Structure 1
Amino acid sequence: MQCGFAFLEAGAVQAKNVTNILTKNVLDSLITIVSYWTLGWALAYGPNPVDNLSPFFGASQFFGQDISNFGRFFFQYVFAARASTIISGAVAERAEFITFFVYSLLVPGFTYPVLSHWGWSSVGWLRQGLNIGDGTFHTTYLDLAGAGVVHLCGGTISLIAAWMMGPRIGRFLDNGQLSKMEGHSVPLASLGGFILMLGFLAFNGGSVADISLPGNGQVVAKAMINTLLCGAFGAICTLILHKIRNGKWTVLLTMNACLAGMISACAGCNQMDGWGTFVTGIGAGLIYMALSGLMLRLRIDDPLDAFAVHFGGGLWGLISVCLVSTSAGRGVIPSLITGDGTAIVHSLAQLGWNILSSLAIIIWSSFVVLPVFGLLKLIGKFRVPAEIERKGIDIWKHGEEAYPLVAYGHGWNESEAEEVMDEEGVWAAPVATIFHDPSKYQQQQQEDGGSRKRTFVRNGH
């Protein structure tokens, strides 16, 4: 999944910021494992010695002590990394590196673990739910693979970060028009999208957690197929509507809609039939388009549509599972079809509980990051200076260009392409030219006042 996010974001940003976004994605995996091992797992699944506090957070097994299920630890670590890396797309091309470090520690180490404890720990208050009627029915938090605790959380923080940071320079013009600031590589972004699609199959299928018992293998396969169907319906719906409205077949919009559909499947891909995937996928595509357009109208700059994809897909997933679930007393639509009054009441109660859970996730995610982002903004460490943003973050912050000019090697003036060494022992070579005609290159050199050279270090010299 991290690889998919890295390529998707790299392709969606301008060439001058590719190294920056790749560095963030690489470090996100590394920072997250330290943060989750140190604190996150303990808050999520460590037993709490104070019984009255156990529904809200864990309080043991810090620094990986006494963990008995390392397979679950690894799986949960990757969920934590996914919640964190969602945010980088919303603030791409303008966030200070310290901002990335802060939320890469905060989200997987504190924000996400508390939410996963609420919803997935056996003693969490969201999972415990409520007894309905005479106690024969019990609501619970329906979310198999993180539509809420992962994607709704990450999408909420993405919105807050993008809003507080403000749009990229030149994104919105003074006359109210939208300036095109397109990514530099559609193929790279598409590759990332395909990798994420594959990753969702692994996570949604793997969230069933067991294939060794009779019948479990079929449940895993069903979850994976339903995930694909939700993504397909969301993508096709969005593609057709965009063609009708704008007359174009767009790959990036289609890819985002597919991801939104797969995210919406996270909540209940193990308990819906084919018609349920249609409802879930179509709804996710429509919600994605609506939220993406709303962000532009509100002049909130989200280069990757992280809010529309993850918040929209996650929230709809938590609602949709309560509409289409085939589990007894969980799905509103199947209960209405059967006409069973008791089942209808139970399914409506379950829907209400999942909506309440959604609100709890949004409030907690906002409560944690708002003061932290506000402090970073106050001390001037939230966003890069305007000059660096205009010229690109790669060279100034990292000293590495994603696409060095000399690496292309086209249009060199062959008569002057020989390597030379200056007086300090540094190898020098002419800068690659944009002129394919050598005579024009020589003319430009004369106008510039002489030969243009670019230095580079070789073999440690």
Structure 2
Amino acid sequence: MATSWETSVTESINAVYLLFSAYLVFVMQLGFAMLCAGSVRAKNALNVMLTNVVDAVVGTVSYYLFGFAFAFGGSNPFIGTSFFALHHVPNDSYDYAYFLYQWAFAIAVAGITSGSIAERTQFSAYLVYSSLLTGFVYPVVAHWVWSSEGWLSPSAGGVGLLFGSGAIDFAGSGVVHLVGGIAGLWGAVIEGPRVGRFDAFGKPVPMRGHNATLVVLGTFLLWFGWFGFNPGSYARILVPYPDAPDQGNWTGVGRTAVTTALAGSTAGLVTLFGRRLLAGHWDALDVCNGLLGGFVAITSGCAVVEPWAAIVCGFFAAWVLIGLNTLALKLRFDDPLEAAPLHGGCGAWGLIFTGLFAKEELVVQAYESGEVGVSRPFGLLLGGGWGLLLAQVVAVVVIVGWVSLTMAPLFYVLHKLHLLRISVDEELAGLDISSHGGYAYVAHPEEHHPRFYADYTSIADGTR
């Protein structure tokens, strides 16, 4: 029997680990801000930086007031309680640490969506969709999968699990990335492509970002943060296994970090050579997106697959991303950061991958505290039957359906009210000067071009 002092030390270490992981996930906001800034044209850099800040600050208030309670409050399998989240947190000694960790995930979702609609969206629209996404849309999905009361949860004590399994989304391929990707998909579809993105014959016109250095910096910051995103999801790492007191959830933390690194690195390599074959040159920006696609995909099964399977995950994630980006161009779908294919497509693949490759022993460790004699559905290709894979497919379908049902009407209403997209003149001049009073850089590289100079001066002197 542990003494009160031992219990206190254990809970203190758990709280510190959870807070540290939350800080790592929050660093991803900086990473995504750098990635966004480098991926857009210089005339929109200030705008995209501000939208990343707004996603965080609006999401913080919205998630506190509504989101956390919808995600983890109450006992309803479909939706939690509402209003004032911290009144509904579990009653233990590190409630606030748990809230902060979940908050860091919530504000990441809005940032994903902003990448798909960058360079052409009114600033007020960001305020509206960020509030709804972090306060309601995302938390409902989190409740389904991550709350022990959720109808998709794999942690319901073996009672009422969907297909006897529940859907395994350990750190959020579906809950976070698929939600953000599908929201961005609808925003980009309803807005339409940027001016000049496709020519009169429908062929894509390159609109490359202005700063590859920021893109690479952002990618490495995101990689760093992912070590809080995935291993940090072992929220209570010092909980011992009942049948093996010398082991516990902490035994999976290191392996989860390894699977994360392997999946991302494999996807980056495959994208490097795949794009070399397709485009005829080496492209650092494509590699960065491939790397992130691998991270997105492994996020679902990072704790329940072996390292070799993570390599398989990353390999196919790269081709999912390349294939969806090729399809997007054929359909004249414009996504400046490839956010919808990357987070949506690779997020969906990550859920399916888990249903194919999850190892039974690791599933029991993650969701049954390593109890001896417990049997659960696991990966189909490892002999675990169809239960887990079917649950994963259901998760993909209902997440896509829920986000579409909520976010598509929102973007459509904003569009009809002329609150979604900026005017053609403002887009040509750039959001920085048209909406924020000046460019991000003192020496703006495009302002010397006659067309942009004319737009700049006409807006600045009030004649347009």
Report TM bin, short chain: 0.7 to 0.9
CA distance in 2, matches of 1:3, 1:317: 24
Gaps of 5+ in 1: 49-53, 336-342, 409-431, 435-454, 456-461
1:224–1:396 Cα change, 3 Å: same
- 2:431 aligns with one of 375, 393, 408: 393
Match of 2:379 in 1: 331
CA deviations 1:183-227 (Å, max 9, x no partner) are 100001111111111111111010011332444333111101100
The code of the aligned residue for 1:158 comes to G
CA deviations 1:357-409 (Å, max 9, x no partner) are 11000000010111111111111111001100000111221113210139x9x
CA distance in 2, matches of 1:199, 1:218: 20
Match of 1:254 in 2: 287
Alignment coverage as a number of residue pairs: 395
- What is the CA distance between 1:249 and its match in structure 2? 1.0
CA deviations 1:227-277 (Å, max 9, x no partner) are 000001111111111112222111111110110101111111111112211
Q: Does residue 66 of structure 2 align to residue 39 of structure 1?
A: yes
Match of 2:86 in 1: 64
SS in 2 for 1:405: coil
Gaps of 5+ in 2: 1-27, 240-246, 362-376, 450-459
CA deviations 1:293-337 (Å, max 9, x no partner) are 1111000100000011101111011000111111253111221xx
Q: Does residue 342 of structure 2 align to residue 309 of structure 1?
A: yes
Higher RCO (CA-CA < 8 Å; seq separation 6+): 2
Match of 1:321 in 2: 354
Match of 1:30 in 2: 57
- 1:179 aligns with one of 186, 196, 205: 205
Asked if structure 1 preserves the Cα contact closer than 8 Å seen for 2:71 and 2:139, the reply is yes
The code of the aligned residue for 1:70 comes to Y
CA deviations 1:145-167 (Å, max 9, x no partner) are 01001101111111111110000
CA distance in 2, matches of 1:42, 1:87: 22
Match of 2:20 in 1: none
- 1:111 aligns with one of 115, 124, 137: 137
CA distance in 1, matches of 2:332, 2:62: 34
SS in 1 for 2:285: helix
Identity over aligned pairs, percent:
37
CA distance in 2, matches of 1:63, 1:211: 24
RMSD: 2.4
CA deviations 1:96-119 (Å, max 9, x no partner) are 111111111010000000000011
Which aligned pairs between 1:274-285 and structure 2 lie closer than 5 A? 274-285=307-318
CA distance in 2, matches of 1:27, 1:85: 9
Asked if structure 1 preserves the Cα contact closer than 8 Å seen for 2:151 and 2:162, the reply is no
- What is the CA distance between 1:349 and its match in structure 2? 1.6
CA distance in 2, matches of 1:162, 1:270: 33
Which aligned pairs between 1:152-167 and structure 2 lie closer than 5 A? 152-167=178-193
TM-score by length of 1: 0.82
CA distance in 2, matches of 1:122, 1:305: 33
Asked if structure 2 preserves the Cα contact closer than 8 Å seen for 1:131 and 1:138, the reply is no
- 1:168 aligns with one of 175, 194, 197: 194
CA deviations 1:423-442 (Å, max 9, x no partner) are xxxxxxxxx999xxxxxxxx
Match of 1:379 in 2: 417
Match of 1:447 in 2: none
SS in 1 for 2:419: coil
CA distance in 2, matches of 1:310, 1:107: 15
